[in-house]
Each structure stands twice: as structure tokens, then as C-alpha cells.
């Protein structure tokens, strides 16, 4: 166990985070959603306290607690008044090491999870994002929905949750971060009192297979009735976390679609008014993650918007960016980076990411230098090396009968598939 401390006496508050190196990547195939259910069931409270009594106890301490599950981690986060830090740590220790995992709470959580899946069908943007990851990553674990699907949730019982907890939480490696009105010495003393390190496995990096993309441009139409507005995602594989092209590509992508003045926003929104938002995102992980463009054009302009985006993508990959654009993007990234480190809890979060997710320490400590060091040739070479204009997944949530023909005629389309929006 490691304890990371960020001290600040500006406010009489303390943030605490217990972070485990296990998340939805550890979900067994066919039981997607297990890590999320486990985390949420733990949040219902420790043994000996009903959920209501647990909430009352938190309220009496002036504290709030949440659980976040991502692909690679489970994090229990809490904020508390300074004077109540020690009793909160005792409560969190019970929550982590003695969770109730009650059957009635589990049954309620499963009902809520199923209801959330149904409600999510009404959110076209989230639906498009999920289907895009499925189209891009296929059978790869990166395609898994953290919340699972109806059939995977049906396969998960309380014994699976108990097993996941025992293997990945009860004996898994963890880190503790403490930020705010607390000294380094005090934080270490309190954490070591309530979070012993004995009988725990060493942290192991998850074995993640290499991501691959299909050859050619492939269109998936998520068929939803009566769509006046569509949600459009176009993308390919981007970069790994430990990729020499990451920072050059980050700068280049900022020019293309990372700001309001970027080429994508100017051509799609400012010049044509086809979509209120138009942006591109570069993700990174242990293996190559997604790079994608996202827009929300009206149905009548959807295919034209896709064709324009493909043309802009080709221009960016072939011609690169210019020196003034490079300088602007570097200033923008450096100046905005301060907002990622302007509170003790944000600084603690960055340090936890380094230790938990294997992010190079230099990314946090020398971010400005790494961004400022990017040369024009580096940015353009990285774009050409990493962003494919040929191998693309194109996903649109739309009424298929209104857009299928136009999308099939897009340049270089190799296949077109229509899937129902509520396929499960």
C-alpha cells in the first residue's frame, strides 16, 4: 500500500480516495457489468449498518462518499470536514473490508441497472458512443460496456459479486490518497491505523491484447425511428499511453478538433451550421485507444456532414498543420493545464493515476515541457503515422430508411450494417 498526500489548509475539508487496480477489464466474458455492480453494492454500506443508518452516519460527519468504476480501476472517494477525518476513515475501512453485500440490496441494484439500460436508449449521443466503441474494437475488451447489457446482467448473481470482491478488492493491491487540510505525518498515521497492508497480493498490470481495426471504412447505422437529428461518430485507433507519438498527436489533434477555432468546428458549424458541436478526441491506454470525431447534424445533412468530415480528415492527415497553429495549440494546452492541477484533490488524482494506471510520471510533472517540446515535423509525422484515413468506423444513430443510401455512397465504404437501437 502507498499513501499519497497533498496538503492544503485553504479550506477545512479533506478528500480521501481508496483506489484499487481492478475495473471492468476484469469482468468475465458474458458477465459485463460485474465490477460496476460490485462497487455499487459495496457503497450500500458495511455489515452492521443498514443503508439508511450508513447514510445518516455520513451526514452526521459532514461527509459524502461515492464509488467510481472504470476500465482499469475501482475508486472509493470521500470528502469530509477536517475535524471528522478519523471517524470517516474508520467508516471507510468498514466499507472496504466488511461490506454488507446484502441480497436485498443486490436485487434492487440489478433492477436499477436494467432500468438504466432502458433509459439510456433515449440518449442518442451515449448510444452512438457505445455503438462506436463496439464497431471499432469488436471482440476486444475495450469494447465492453462498463454497465453491461441485459443478458450479461441476467447472468450475474450475488455469488459472482462476492467472488469478484474477494479476489479483486479484499486481497487486491490498493492505494490511498489524502488531500486537503491534513499534514503528511497525520495522514500516514491515520491511514496505517485503518488500512493495514498484510496478506494482500501485489499489484499486477492487466494483460490486455493488442487492439486492431478492420481494414476499410465500415458504416453502422443504429436504426431509431423518427430521428430529426442524428448522432455521428467517425474514428479509428489513436495512441497508447507509452507512445512517443502521444504528445505530438495531442497537439496536432488540438489544432484539428480540440478547440472552437479548430478546423472541424469552423467548417462544420461556423461555415455550414450543420452541427452545434463538432470536435475530435484522442484517448490513450495501455493499448491503442480510440481517436474519433463527433457531430450531431440534422438527418437531411447527416451524410453530407460525414463526407465533409472525411474530407477534412484526409486534408489533416496529408497536409498536417502549420507553424502558427502549432504554437496556438501548445499555448492553449499549457495554459489550460493549470485547471487540471488547481486543487489538492486534482493533484492527488494525477499522482494516483501515475501509480495505479502506469502513466509515466513525466506526463504529470513535465506536461508543459512535453507539450512545448513538440516540433512541427513531430506533430505532422505523428498524425500521418497514427491516424488512418482508410480504416474507419462510421456510426450514426438515425432512421435508417432516411440515410442508408447516402451513407452507402460515402467514399471508400466497404460495408454497411443496420442494427436496431434496442438490440440489447
Same domain, 369 and 255: yes
Is 149 among the domain residues?
Answer: yes
Same domain, 143 and 241: no
Is 87 among the domain residues?
Answer: yes
Indicate the number of domains in the chain.
2
Asked if residues 235 and 135 have their Cβ atoms less than 8 Å apart, the reply is no
CA distance 177 to 134: 34
- Banded pLDDT at 200 (limits 50, 70, 90): very low
Is 201 among the domain residues?
Answer: no
- Cell matching residue 146: 462498463
Asked if the model's pLDDT at residue 42 lies above 90, the reply is: yes
Asked if residues 21 and 85 have their Cβ atoms less than 8 Å apart, the reply is no
Cβ neighbors of 320 (< 8 A, separation 6 or more) are 252, 376, 379, 380, 383, 384
Average pLDDT rounded to a whole number, residues 371-385: 98
DSSP 258-315: SSTTSHHHIIIIITT---S-EEEEE-EESS--EEEEEE--BGGGHHHHHHHHHHHHHH
Determine the pLDDT at residue 204: 60
* CATH number for position 11: 3.30.830.10
Is 183 among the domain residues?
Answer: yes
Same domain, 232 and 341: yes
Determine the pLDDT at residue 424: 63
Taking only the tens place, the pLDDT of each residue in 77-136 is: 999 999 999 999 999 999 999 999 999 999 999 999 999 999 999 999 999 999 999 999
Taking only the tens place, the pLDDT of each residue in 155-194 is: 999 999 999 999 999 988 899 999 999 999 999 999 999 9
Same domain, 188 and 271: no
338: left (phi over 0), alpha (psi -120 to 50) or beta: alpha
Same domain, 73 and 158: yes
**pTM higher than 0.75:** yes
User: Judging by DSSP bridges, how do beta strands 231-237 and 290-295 pair with one another?
Assistant: antiparallel
DSSP 236-259: EE-EETT-TTHHHHHHHHHHHHSS
Is 243 among the domain residues?
Answer: yes
Domain boundary, last residue among 194, 226, 261: 194
Taking only the tens place, the pLDDT of each residue in 323-366 is: 999 999 999 999 999 999 999 999 999 999 998 888 999 999 99
Determine the pLDDT at residue 420: 96
Q: Residue 60 in 3-state DSSP?
A: helix
Determine the pLDDT at residue 331: 97
Same domain, 175 and 234: no
Asked if residues 92 and 78 have their Cβ atoms less than 8 Å apart, the reply is yes
Determine the pLDDT at residue 203: 55
Determine the pLDDT at residue 356: 87
Percent of all residues in the chain with a pLDDT value above 90, rounded to a whole number: 93
Same domain, 116 and 248: no
Domain that holds residue 345: 217-420
Same domain, 112 and 190: yes
Same domain, 120 and 264: no
Is 227 among the domain residues?
Answer: yes
Same domain, 234 and 130: no
Domain boundary, last residue among 163, 194, 225: 194
Taking only the tens place, the pLDDT of each residue in 241-285 is: 999 999 999 999 999 999 999 999 999 999 999 999 999 999 999
* Residues belonging to the chain: 424
Domain boundary, last residue among 133, 161, 194: 194
Taking only the tens place, the pLDDT of each residue in 300-331 is: 999 999 999 999 999 999 999 999 999 999 99
Instruction: Look at the block and give the residue holding cell 451513407.
Output: 407
Is 125 among the domain residues?
Answer: yes
Cβ neighbors of 323 (< 8 A, separation 6 or more) are 376
Same domain, 175 and 262: no
Is 228 among the domain residues?
Answer: yes
Average pLDDT rounded to a whole number, residues 19-27: 94
Same domain, 310 and 411: yes
Amino acid at each position: 500500500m502507498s499513501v499519497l498526500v497533498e496538503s492544503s489548509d485553504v479550506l477545512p475539508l479533506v478528500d480521501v480516495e481508496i483506489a484499487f487496480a481492478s475495473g471492468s477489464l476484469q469482468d468475465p466474458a458474458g458477465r459485463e457489468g460485474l465490477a460496476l455492480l460490485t462497487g455499487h453494492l459495496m457503497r450500500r454500506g458495511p455489515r452492521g449498518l443498514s443503508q439508511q443508518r450508513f447514510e445518516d452516519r455520513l451526514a452526521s460527519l459532514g461527509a459524502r462518499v461515492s464509488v467510481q468504476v472504470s476500465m482499469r480501476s475501482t475508486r472509493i472517494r470521500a470528502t469530509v470536514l477536517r475535524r471528522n477525518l478519523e471517524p470517516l476513515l474508520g467508516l471507510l475501512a468498514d466499507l472496504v473490508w466488511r461490506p454488507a453485500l446484502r441480497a436485498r440490496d443486490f436485487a434492487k441494484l440489478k433492477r436499477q441497472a436494467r432500468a438504466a439500460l432502458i433509459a439510456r436508449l433515449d440518449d442518442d449521443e451515449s448510444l452512438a458512443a457505445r455503438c462506436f466503441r463496439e464497431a471499432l474494437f469488436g471482440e476486444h475488451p475495450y469494447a465492453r460496456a462498463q454497465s453491461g447489457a441485459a443478458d450479461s446482467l441476467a447472468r450475474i448473481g450475488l455469488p459472482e459479486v462476492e467472488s469478484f470482491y474477494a479476489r479483486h478488492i479484499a486481497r487486491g493491491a490498493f492505494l490511498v490518497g489524502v488531500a486537503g487540510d491534513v499534514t503528511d505525518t497525520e495522514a500516514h498515521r491515520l491511514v496505517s491505523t485503518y488500512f493495514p497492508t498484510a496478506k494482500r497480493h501485489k499489484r499486477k498490470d492487466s494483460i490486455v491484447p493488442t487492439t486492431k481495426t478492420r481494414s476499410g471504412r465500415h458504416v453502422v447505422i443504429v436504426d431509431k425511428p423518427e430521428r430529426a437529428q442524428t448522432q455521428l461518430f467517425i474514428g479509428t485507433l489513436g495512441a497508447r499511453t507509452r507512445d512517443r507519438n502521444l504528445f505530438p498527436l495531442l497537439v496536432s489533434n488540438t489544432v484539428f478538433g480540440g478547440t472552437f477555432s479548430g478546423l472541424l468546428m469552423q467548417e462544420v458549424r461556423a461555415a455550414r451550421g450543420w452541427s452545434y458541436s463538432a470536435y475530435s478526441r484522442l484517448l490513450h491506454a495501455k493499448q491503442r485507444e480510440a481517436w474519433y470525431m463527433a457531430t450531431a447534424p440534422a438527418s437531411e445533412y447527416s451524410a453530407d456532414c460525414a463526407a465533409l468530415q472525411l474530407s477534412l480528415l484526409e486534408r489533416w492527415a496529408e497536409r498536417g498543420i502549420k507553424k502558427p497553429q502549432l504554437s496556438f495549440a501548445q499555448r492553449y494546452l499549457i495554459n489550460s493545464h493549470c485547471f487540471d492541477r488547481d486543487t489538492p484533490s486534482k493533484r492527488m488524482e494525477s499522482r494516483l493515476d501515475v501509480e495505479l494506471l502506469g502513466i509515466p510520471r513525466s506526463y504529470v510533472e513535465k506536461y508543459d515541457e512535453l507539450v512545448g517540446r513538440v516540433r512541427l515535423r513531430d506533430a505532422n509525422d505523428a498524425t500521418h503515422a497514427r491516424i488512418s484515413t482508410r480504416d474507419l468506423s462510421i456510426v450514426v444513430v438515425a432512421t435508417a430508411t432516411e440515410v442508408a443510401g447516402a451513407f452507402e455512397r460515402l467514399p471508400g465504404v466497404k460495408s454497411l450494417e443496420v442494427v436496431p437501437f434496442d438490440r440489447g
